[in-house]
Amino acid sequence: MEEGVFRRAADAAMEELKQTLFDAEGDGGFEVEEQAGALYVVFEKPAGKFVITPNAPVRQIWISARNTSFKLDLTTEGFVLAKTGETLVPLVERLIDDHLHYR
């Protein structure tokens, strides 16, 4: 896959995710920051931070969350975590919910 194709798909996916997170952050228990093409989801209680970033050399979007790395591949369905079949937005929503409700 050409880098340009990846970049356009990654930019669109990250923008969709950013808007979804911005819409939820007010009462969601987290704040969203954007820096140098990466999104940071910052939690106060329980404390934590997720980092979501496109990785052009390997043509994936990477998520660092809860001491785990998630690597999503671009498919016809969008960016997908092969292990579960989850796409980017539902995966991040699940990870946030898991973090906020972790006991």
**Nearest-angstrom CA–CA distance, 82 and 70:** 10
pTM, two decimal places: 0.91
**Nearest-angstrom CA–CA distance, 48 and 42:** 6
Yes or no: say if 70 and 55 are a contact pair by the CB < 8 Å rule: no
Asked if residue 13 has pLDDT above 70, the reply is yes
Convert the pLDDT of each residue in 47-67 to its tens digit. Answer: 999 999 999 999 999 999 988
Percent of the chain scored above 70 by pLDDT?
98
Fold exhibited by the domain 3-83+90-100: Metal Transport, Frataxin; Chain A (3.30.920)
- So where are the chain's domains? 3-83+90-100
**Nearest-angstrom CA–CA distance, 62 and 70:** 6
